[in-house]
Structure 1
Amino acid sequence: MKKHTFIQGTLIMMIVGMIVKILGLLNRMLISRLLTDEGVGIYQMVMPTYLLLITLAQLGFPVAISKLISENNIYHKHQNRAIVLNAVKISIINSAILINILIFSAKFLAVNLLNDERTFLPLLALTIFIPLVSFTSILRGYLQGYKNMSIPSIAQLIEQVFRITSCVILIIILLPISVELAVVGIIISLSIGELSSVIYMLYKIKNKRPWNTFLFSRDERIIDDNLTKDILSISIPSTGSRLIGSIAHFFEPIIFSIALMSIGYSNLEVTNIYGQITGYTLTLLLVPSFFSFALSQPLLPIIAEAYAERNHTKISHYFNLSIFLSFIIGLLFTIIVSLYPNDLMKLFFNTTEGTRFLIYMAPLFIIFYFQQPISSTLHALNKTKHAVISTFIGSALKLLLIYTLTSRENINVHGLNIAIIANVYFVTLYDYYLLTKNIKINYNFRTIVQCILLGIFTVILGLIFKKVSLPYYISILVLTIVYLFILQVLNIGDFQKIRGQLFNHPHNK
């Protein structure tokens, strides 16, 4: 199976991730334009449950399977197909439990917790999604364990194309009936996209040597209880961190709604404001997360292998490299969003609602872009339990701040944003502190100074462009070109060497 270097894997994930993110934004644009604030509000109220179900259905399979296969390629303790089939066994049981829980709790959740009966049918529609996302996560973990990033990346792209196409068709068909059914159509489109991803990955894998004998193996020990325990020993702690975050996100709109209504806001106002913050502002701020995700996927198996080999120099090198790349991308994006918040909000969502939140959140949000590579490194170093603790404390802090701040009339809706920023800073800094206890992190003072000066220069150049009334899209293009040109010419952070690694080809297996 073809392997990729860290930089090649990152580039593949980044390019496809960028396309997927653009398509995702296009999907958001279409949803916001077709459904208006009311429909977007209903959709966003369902999203925390959707994210919680993703976490529970995946059960940490991408991390567990990728890590086990990476280590198994060194130690050869099991057949890799055994790892996958044991994960499938766990997945079937887990999906059946989740589907039954959702069916019996959807009505109570919609009426008593979300305070909007219109969310009932969209919640029920999520039952189709559960087994699909679980199986997809297993296939992704298998491929990433082999350091093959192209197949899962293209699968993501196919998923988005099918999701957007079916989303638009279903909204057009169902919106004349009711906004509620239109939201159901959006939820169904999630399942259609996931199914297309599964079909593509199975099609690509079936001709690969490691997959050929999966269904035809006569090895009676292929389903191994000990291997099942190995998978769960990694996946459950890994899920714990995401689960805590998802549960906090699940309660987020509930607490936000209670707090705002306690100071006189109506249910409709709460739904609309929550839609603006999470549907517009946060969606825009999370755009660079495709790059953080692109870094973290090849990073985990590489560091897991290095950890198994006790190669601490290699671990430090790749972690430091991932942080540098996250910073230069996050810095450029933060500068652009801070300079042109109204223009970008209007471009993507055809509205300026949410811009008031974006203006002060964008500069503070830059630290978020470090979170994914730090988290992946902790998982690879078997420090998942420590990450669970930081996520738990951060999530508890966020929920406490949401109610405490939002229920104050002089802070009101801004309490949610303050709580989100506080959570991001605590979790990222605490996880980073944990890493410093386990790996050596080398600081290059020259690189730090160069990056700061590059950021200052880019801001000044952007302000000049605004002063002369240069169109924002031309300004953004020129700023990006100049930024990358300076990185290359000054060789900041050994940028030329990083670019050169794109052409290093690992041996294929």
Structure 2
Amino acid sequence: MKKQTFIQGTIILVVVGMIVKVLGLVNRMVIARLLTSEGIGIYMMVMPTFVLLISLAQLGFPIAISKLVSENNIKQRISNQTIVLKALRISLINSLLLITILLLSAKFLSFNLLNDKRTYYPILSLVFFVPLVSFSSIIKGYLHGYKIMGVPSYSQLIEQIVRITTSISLVIILLPYSIELAVCGAILSMSIGEAISLIYMIYRIKNKRSWNRIIKKRVENKTYEKNIIKDILTISLPATGSRLIGSLSHFFEPIIFSFAMISIGISSHYVTRIYGQITGYTISLLLVPSFLCVAVSIPLIPIISEAHTKKNSEKISHYFNLSIFLSYLSGGIFTIILTLYPNELMKLFFNTTDGVVFLSYMAPLFLFHYFQLPITSTLHAIDKAKSAMMNTLIGAAIKLFLIYILVSTPYINVHGLTTAIIINSIFVTVADFIVLSKTIKMKYNFKTIFTSIYLLIFTYLVGSLLKISQFISNAFINMFILIILYTGIVFLFNIGDIRKIKNQLINH
């Protein structure tokens, strides 16, 4: 297993992430067509619980293990393998606790909070996913700490392929029986995919004899047990706090939305359907470029952690600026295309125009969201996880408050949900950036900032002209022209020193 540089690791994650994202969209397209709006509504009502369980099961392990391993590679205080063993112990106890809570609360959650009894069995289907995602997150964090991005990325690709195959098969098999059983099939496919992914990573580690070293260190490092567990929890709990707050916010989102809509006389079946449209179609489309933000943020944590340990603020500034620029590149062009051609993209991906009305005002403002992950990852790497957690908490409180107030206002209703989501995203991104600016004296390249903004404006104006003039009637050809123009200008004017980035990739 080979270590990668930041650029190499990012490229691997981008390429694999792009493939996974495309496969995921294909899966959503097929599942959406099979389940229809009713089934997607049930599926999306369960998803907040799913996201919450992921946060609780992972317990911040990817960040904590990656950070501890990367720092320990410099300080050499303890064995990295010991860190993994102690994390696995915490994971086992945590998983058993979560499974028990889920089994006891599933009925109350579906019947009383989500107000839809059809979500009961889909919620129970999440039980198998808990231990799998927990163990998997530890292995991924261990590999990321060593700057090994390939194995976790390939495992993600394998997981997605298995998930697509099993989800389509199970939905087709179970759909004749009932819509909720078909949704259960789609959810169970995630557990199957995660299991195969975990087996692959363990095989790759064992194949390089690293796994045997992990086991042998058990007795040798027993004296470090208390300190290691404390170190893991010191990093993981604040990191979990941020994700947990976001997940709880997402968990309560459909509950509050449902109560607010019902309070103004809207039926529960319509609420389920419209919530499925917003979260299953609109938000899913807006999150398409997020794979690059994730790809940039994963290798960012160990690199900035090492730089922070060495008190190298110049290196921190360099990689932070690079991560923001790369996130901007992908998010910028997608924002333009989505703003200009929402109907065409929605029809292409989901064979429907449901949810298009929300894209018209969400797409331009959602650009803030693409910056959020690199900024938050940097805060975690420089030991500012608590500040990030507080910003997430305040943002979540604002979002949930606005959902109830705006949605229960008759002339706003469903648009209150999308408005609250956008306001939350902008607030958290700006608040995290303020904390970062106060902590680290960042150096910014204002030439890159202004040329990037001009690039976005110019490309949008050209796109608007193409659309209005109808010089080329095919929307997808226009999209392709805009992408070529956008990319060409970046390289022609060397925006963000893109040629140097390209040379670094080639030379390595």
Place the TM-score, normalised by the shorter chain, in its bin.
Answer: over 0.9
**Mapping of residues 310-349 of structure 1, within 5 Å:** 310-349=311-350
Mapping of residues 86-485 of structure 1, within 5 Å:
86-217=86-217, 219-222=219-222, 224-466=225-467, 467-485=470-488
Equivalent position amino acid for 1:476 in 2: M
Q: Which residue number corresponds to residue 26 of structure 1?
A: 26
Task: Provide the rounded CA distance (Å) in 2 between the counterparts of 1:453 and 1:238.
Answer: 36
Letter in 2 for 1:491: N
- Aligned to 1:219, the other structure's residue is in SS state helix
User: Aligned-pair distance for 1:203?
Assistant: 1.2
Q: Hey, what's the Cα distance between the residues in 1 that align with 2:218 and 2:240?
A: 32
Pick from 478, 484, 502: which aligns with 1:499?
502
Q: Structure 1 vs Structure 2: percent identity of aligned residues? A: 61
1:156-211 deviations in whole A, cap 9, x for unaligned?
11100000100000001000000010011011001001011101111111133543
For the 8 Å contact 1:296–1:372, the answer to whether it is kept is yes
Could you tell me how far 1:444 is from its partner in structure 2? Answer: 2.5
Structure 2 counterpart of 1:500, one-letter code: N
Question: What does residue range 34-73 of structure 1 map to in structure 2 within 5 Å?
Answer: 34-73=34-73
Aligned equivalents of 2:232, 2:3: Cα separation in 1: 23
Which whole-Å CA distance do the structure 1 matches of 2:220 and 2:460 have between them?
Answer: 64
Moved more, 340-349 or 208-217: 208-217
The superposition leaves residues 247-278 of structure 1 with CA deviations (integer Å, 9 ceiling, x where unpaired) of 01100000000001111110011000000000
Contact 2:82–2:217 under 8 Å retained in 1: no
SS in 2 for 1:441: coil
Q: Give the Cα–Cα distance (whole angstroms) in 2 for the partners of residues 435 and 69 of structure 1.
A: 23
Instruction: Identify the residue that residue 83 of structure 2 maps to in structure 1.
Output: 83
1:489 and 2:496 matched: no
d(CA) in 2 for partners of 1:250, 1:448: 36
- How far residue 463 of structure 1 moved from its aligned partner, in angstroms, is 2.2
C-alpha distance in 2 between matches for 1:481 and 1:469? 15
Bigger mean CA deviation after superposition, 307-316 or 87-96? 307-316
2:85 partner letter: L
For 1:474 and 1:497, locate their aligned partners in 2 and report how far apart those are by CA, in whole Å: 30
Give the Cα–Cα distance (whole angstroms) in 2 for the partners of residues 216 and 313 of structure 1: 39
Paired residue secondary structure (2:167): helix
Normalized against structure 2, the TM-score is what? 0.98
CA contact (8 A) 1:87 1:138 kept: yes
CA distance in 2, matches of 1:212, 1:500: 38
Residue identity opposite 2:139 in structure 1: L
Which amino acid is 2:456 matched to?
A: G
Runs (5+) with no aligned partner, structure 2? none
The amino acid of 1:126's aligned partner reads: L
* CA distance 1:59–1:218, change in 2 (3 Å): closer
Q: Spell out, residue by residue over 1:311-341, the C-alpha distance to the aligned partner (whole angstroms, 9 max, x if none).
A: 1110111101111111121111100101110
- Of the structure 1 ranges 424-433 and 434-443, higher mean CA displacement relative to structure 2 is found in 434-443
Asked whether the 8 Å contact 2:70–2:306 carries over to 1, the reply is yes
Q: Is the 8 A contact 2:110 2:120 kept in 1?
A: yes
Q: Note if contact 2:6-2:300 (Cα within 8 Å) is conserved in structure 1.
A: yes
Q: Which amino acid aligns with 2:286?
A: L
Secondary structure of the residue aligned to 1:4 is: coil
